[in-house]
Structure 1
Amino acid sequence: MKFTIDVLGVFLKVVVKINRVTFAPLVVSTLFILLTSLLAHCARRLVHKTINEPFVRLLFEELIAAAELCGCCFELIVVADNFGVATYAIFLFALTIWWSVNWGDATACPYTHIEDVIEGKGDIRKALLKTWAELTGGLLVFKYVQLYWALEISETHKDKAFEECRADLQVPVIYGAIIEGIATCLCRLVSKSLGDLNPRFATAIDAFIGTSLVVAAFDYSGGYFNPVLATSLKAGCEGHTLMEHAVVYWIGACAGSILSVYMYKLPAIQRYVRGGAVANGDSIWADKED
């Protein structure tokens, strides 16, 4: 606890000094994201040291991962609003790689547990418990974000802590659900393929494709592709009802994920995965030589 307080104190001193001298709100956002990731990393290490039961430890890891994901993405909204979608995409790409490397077995995403149930790798009870842990982390982290925003260290945070939020859905509900579903399906197909093909730079490739799909959907549904993330950031916001939110970000995304399970088993996809691939004559696959 003392370490966390010391880190927070140093962080606040740094951002206040930087802001006074250079008025750099993007640096303030960057440092907040780094602090959030650092605190989550420390929390994961603490869980590993203190909890021995594997499933209970995984529940805490899911809670921490969801809190980290949503906490960072709250600040990414500020980045996107003030510095553009391109800057937002760069941050998201880097964060996606960080999360892939550091989360271990945690996913912070409910539909991955549904896929495990369909494929016989998990049971419904555990899937529900992991989803509950993720929602808990995703919903509780807003108080942490709100506390930081209330400090108004940067102009980009002025009145942000208590302002009314607006939904990102800019198309009819059914179209939003289709967009979230198709993009989620594509993301999951890519992830499954990369997992089996095991190319060099698989994490970066996955992050790049996922980020590209998010940017493509950004002005339509918001491009969340994760029910917990969407709920944490946008549930109850002005612009759609809770039922419409559930249809787009829960039913749409989960339907896309389930579809990916069955599409991945199609002979054409399996032939590609089993056969590997060579791009432009240069092998990028781990089991081939350049």
Structure 2
Amino acid sequence: MDCSFTLEHIKLNTWEFKTHINKVTFAPLVVSTLFILLTSLLAHCARRVVQKVVKEPFVRLLFEEAIAAAELCGCCFELIVVADNFGVATYAIFLFALTIWWSLNWGDATACPYTHIEDVIEGKGDIRKALLKTWAELTGGILVFKYVQMYWALEISETHKDKAFEDCKADLQVPVIYGAVVEGIATCLCRLASRGLGDLNPRFATAIDSFIGTSLVVAAFDYSGGYFNPVLATSLKAGCEGHTMLEHAVVYWIGACAGSLLSVYVYKLPAIQKFVRGSSVANGDSIWAEKED
């Protein structure tokens, strides 16, 4: 028997087996990545068209809010696929990168209703405009599912098989009150971090904010799903099996909005303001944007 031939044959079969495994494993991830890139590109183009065509600032902002919400929800529909098939760690990497992209490209749009409530509380906006922005965000977030469904129906990868028309399941894994508390506390921490970073203005503030937000999402993932955004939660999970619409509203609307409002008042506490003001004038290391080594 030709041992050298047998050895080469075994190596060839092993290489082909590994190649097959890699294709089976990573091809669906490539498909998901391409969908997320396509969604972001379409949203970017739509945003540019609106900025050129719509002249009235507030009407333009309404369109931008709808586009931002559609982009957010469209990408997060696919992130559910990523999390289910490739784990929370892969999901977190995608979310971290996307959060940075959104921060750099959305401009004044937030795709999140409680930021408008904060503006009303702080005298930076009125209720009518806050409601209109929320309506625009809900419109974009809900309508985008048809776009996602069309893509899933193509079943380009195994991870999309039967996905377009399957019954969804709620992510809430704890009692409703606990879920509302999780969403509320995490939202409060997210907003406190964003406010602090906005005032302190450190280098890499966007990346730091994204890291904090992503970490909190991962921490809450197995409890409430970690949405921290009523529009996102409504687009992805309203009406899903596992909770009623009232329970959904309590967790993802009341819980998140309560956490956001709490952050407004907590941030004004003397201890926090002393820390922020002290950090902004103290000599420090080069993490701060306007400081020298």
Counterparts of 2:291 and 2:69, CA distance in 1: 36
Whether the aligned pair in 2 keeps the contact of 1:40 and 1:64 (CA below 8 Å) is yes
Q: CA deviation at 1:277?
A: 6.7
1:51-90 alpha-carbon deviations (Å, 9 max, x no partner): 0000000000000000000000000000000000000000
Structure 1: tracts of 5 or more residues without a match? 1-18
1:146-171 alpha-carbon deviations (Å, 9 max, x no partner): 00000000000000000000000000
One-letter code of the match for 1:80?
A: A
Asked whether 1:169 is paired with 2:172, we answer yes
- Give the alignment of 1:102-117 within 5 angstroms: 102-117=105-120
1:3-60 alpha-carbon deviations (Å, 9 max, x no partner): xxxxxxxxxxxxxxxx9x9440000000000000000000000000100000000000
The aligned residue for residue 199 of structure 1 is: 202
Asked whether 1:183 is paired with 2:186, we answer yes
The aligned residue for residue 10 of structure 1 is: none
- Which of 228, 233, 248 does residue 230 from structure 1 map onto? 233
1:259-281 alpha-carbon deviations (Å, 9 max, x no partner): 000000000100111111799x7
Structure 2: tracts of 5 or more residues without a match? 1-19
- Judged with a 3 Å threshold, the aligned counterparts in structure 2 of structure 1 residues 75 and 278 are, in CA distance, closer, same or farther, namely farther
- Give the alignment of 1:1-290 within 5 angstroms: 22-23=23-24, 24-276=27-279, 282-290=285-293
One-letter code of the match for 2:38?
A: L
- Judged with a 3 Å threshold, the aligned counterparts in structure 2 of structure 1 residues 117 and 175 are, in CA distance, closer, same or farther, namely same
Q: TM-score normalised to the size of structure 2?
A: 0.90
Q: CA deviation at 1:282?
A: 3.0
Whether the aligned pair in 2 keeps the contact of 1:278 and 1:284 (CA below 8 Å) is no
Counting aligned pairs with the same residue, the percent is: 89
Answer with 1 or 2: which has the greater Rg.
2
Whether the aligned pair in 1 keeps the contact of 2:216 and 2:226 (CA below 8 Å) is yes
One-letter code of the match for 1:81?
A: D
Counterparts of 1:100 and 1:30, CA distance in 2: 19
Q: TM-score normalised to the size of structure 1?
A: 0.91
Counterparts of 1:285 and 1:270, CA distance in 2: 17
One-letter code of the match for 2:91?
A: Y
Counterparts of 1:209 and 1:57, CA distance in 2: 30
Q: CA RMSD in A?
A: 1.5
Whether the aligned pair in 1 keeps the contact of 2:285 and 2:291 (CA below 8 Å) is no
One-letter code of the match for 2:68?
A: A
One-letter code of the match for 2:218?
A: V
